[in-house]
Structure 1
Amino acid sequence: MSGSLSFLGLGAQKSGSTWLYFMLREHPGLYLPPVKELHFWDRDRALGLDWYRAQFAPAPAGTKAGEITPAYAILSHELIAEVRREFPDIRLLYLMRNPVERAWSGALMAVPRAEMTVEEASDQWFIDHFNSAGSRCRGDYKSCMQAWLRQFEGERLRWFLYDEVVADPRAVLMGCADHLGVDPGFFRDLPEEKLNARYNEGTGVPIRPSLHAYLARLYRPQILALQDYLKRDLSAWLEANDRAMGTAPKSWLDRLLGR
């Protein structure tokens, strides 16, 4: 039915969701609102379900409507249950990135909000941010998926790695189209210049070696758990993080870890 919600993009934050939003908007069989992140379920629930449904009312007849808000990945069990009650037939998309890189990118986004430059932010400021509940939850992909899959059948959620977006964006988009029930052939024929457009690029500031080592140690258990859960080889993430730990002086790493 035109105007009804057919899909949600869940995140993760800083994992290519802006690119995905603009690419899906290209498809004639899909409708996404002009605003990428509606933040209804995590922030603006008080606006009411009538307001939310109205955001998809302009969808042309025969299209499938949805939205992408990365913060939905960490919704409470109660809110996910409400999504299920209101929209039981939706499909879910979830992008994931090496959580070390995601945590760094997320922290860089928070620096100007703290009215600082990156140079002014101390290692300890970054460490405090990395250990905040919001940052840790956003990087715990296994728990995020499990929360949604308590309410939705497994076949309703399709996940992709940010690495796949970088290596073969066309295949990712065709996989998304197939999952959403629209013609994947549109993305097969999409020109390269559209396919490789860049959106919402980060600052490009590299991770400080000390902080890279800290994050690598922090997220290693979760990456290993995710690897087992997905039955997907994540050795590229682990090896990149292991190299970071190997290059950091032990005394430096011990100090950062509070030893």
Structure 2
Amino acid sequence: MNSTNEHRYLPQVILAGAPKCGTTSVFDHLKDHPEICSSSVKETYYLIDKGYPVFRPDRNVHLQGWQGYEHFFSHCQNAADGLKLEATPDYLYQETPLHSIPEWPTRPKVFFVLRRPEERVYSLYRFAQNNLAILDKDISFSDFLALMGTKDSPFADRYILSNAIQQSCYVDFLLKWREAVGEDNIRVFLFEDFRRDQRGFMKQVADYLGIDPLFYRDYEFEVKNASTNVKLQGMHRLKGRISPYIANTALRRPLSWLYRKVNVTQAAASKVQSERTEVEKLAPRFFEANQRLEAEFGVDLAPWRTRK
């Protein structure tokens, strides 16, 4: 593929990881920037490996090549529209972008937002129980950790849950990305820094991308994709089955409101003592990987060593 037209829709900025690390909020804050033209959906999944759980068989680079990105960026016609941005957090774990991106005529700016590993594993556990309702409420966090990787695990067929610990040892995946896209085109940020100072965090991201950081001086920040508590998992699964049939009808709004009123509450910010203890007991499993992450990428992991 050599023509300019085949390259015109390739993203120039990719937020490539990690899941459950605040990427939805970061994407939304970036897409509001006048020098950014974001993809029509946050997660395009366009560079996902075949066979990975979130692979989209109808739209992917294996099937449609680079030109297929037009589906997500047809509204970004000119350079004046801004840098084309997409954000698919699962890219961190994929081989496809590592082979595809080096063939692009220009390398995109790639960055990652990472969360303290043990907190990310706990967040996945809670997300699976509540937002997704695929993990039984009777399974404690301790049970979840004990069952992980066993053949009899009730989530053995859920790759992302079964591999939550492995995928939270970020450095091995990041080293592959650095080799593929180059040290100057990769940057690592911390979710904890975002949570502590969103304005300062977004200014740092803007500096890295070469867009005006002053846009965020008076910007109004809003947290997106917050975790929720689901009271009845059966009702939540029923909602998932019904939703496609009412998506474009007058029933969608009133039924969604009624569902949230009856079955959803905001997740509590604090953990019970037993959960906090289990999260802290998990931390040593990431010690060596975190040390290598700090050494290889010059990331100050002090926020991960400060306990709540």
Q: TM-score, normalised by structure 1?
A: 0.80
> 1:210-254, CA deviations, whole angstroms, 9 ceiling, x for partnerless residues?
5214411322222222222233442442352xx9xxxxxxxxxxx
Say which of 207, 212, 231 aligns to 2:298. Answer: 231
Partner amino acid, structure 1, of 2:36: L
Please give the secondary structure, in 1, of the residue aligned with 2:204.
helix
- In structure 2, the CA distance between the partners of 1:177 and 1:109, relative to structure 1 (3 Å rule), is same
Asked if the contact 2:128/2:134 (under 8 Å) is kept, the reply is no
84-93 or 154-163, larger mean C-alpha shift: 84-93
Task: Name 1:55's counterpart in structure 2.
Answer: 72
Say which of 207, 223, 240 aligns to 1:198. Answer: 223
Task: Name 2:83's counterpart in structure 1.
Answer: 64
99-108 or 84-93, larger mean C-alpha shift: 84-93
Identity of aligned residues (%): 20
- In structure 2, the CA distance between the partners of 1:174 and 1:133, relative to structure 1 (3 Å rule), is same
Asked if the contact 2:24/2:224 (under 8 Å) is kept, the reply is yes
Give the Cα–Cα distance (whole angstroms) in 1 for the partners of residues 285 and 141 of structure 2.
18
Give the Cα–Cα distance (whole angstroms) in 2 for the partners of residues 127 and 160 of structure 1.
30
Question: Shift of residue 130 of structure 1?
Answer: 7.9
- In structure 2, the CA distance between the partners of 1:102 and 1:210, relative to structure 1 (3 Å rule), is same
- In structure 2, the CA distance between the partners of 1:171 and 1:225, relative to structure 1 (3 Å rule), is same
Please give the secondary structure, in 2, of the residue aligned with 1:158.
strand
- Summarize the alignment of residues 239-258 of structure 1 with structure 2, pairs less than 5 Å apart: 239-240=306-307
Structure 1 portions without partners, runs of 5+ = 244-259
- Summarize the alignment of residues 129-148 of structure 1 with structure 2, pairs less than 5 Å apart: 129=148, 134-148=163-177
Cα root mean square deviation, aligned:
2.6
Task: Name 1:34's counterpart in structure 2.
Answer: 40
> 1:61-87, CA deviations, whole angstroms, 9 ceiling, x for partnerless residues?
3111110011001112x5412122136
- In structure 2, the CA distance between the partners of 1:180 and 1:234, relative to structure 1 (3 Å rule), is closer
The count of corresponding residues between Structure 1 and Structure 2 is 236
Give the Cα–Cα distance (whole angstroms) in 1 for the partners of residues 304 and 14 of structure 2.
26
Which has the larger Rg? 2
Give the Cα–Cα distance (whole angstroms) in 1 for the partners of residues 72 and 276 of structure 2.
44
Task: Name 1:82's counterpart in structure 2.
Answer: 100
Asked if the contact 1:29/1:182 (under 8 Å) is kept, the reply is yes
Please give the secondary structure, in 2, of the residue aligned with 1:199.
coil
1:8 aligns with 2:14: yes
Give the Cα–Cα distance (whole angstroms) in 2 for the partners of residues 47 and 18 of structure 1.
27
Moved over 4 A (4+): 130-133
Give the Cα–Cα distance (whole angstroms) in 2 for the partners of residues 206 and 7 of structure 1.
35
Please give the secondary structure, in 1, of the residue aligned with 2:24.
helix
Give the Cα–Cα distance (whole angstroms) in 2 for the partners of residues 214 and 127 of structure 1.
13
> 1:23-77, CA deviations, whole angstroms, 9 ceiling, x for partnerless residues?
011101101123211111111325523322331121153111110011001112x
- In structure 2, the CA distance between the partners of 1:24 and 1:79, relative to structure 1 (3 Å rule), is closer
Asked if the contact 2:40/2:73 (under 8 Å) is kept, the reply is no
91-100 or 180-189, larger mean C-alpha shift: 180-189
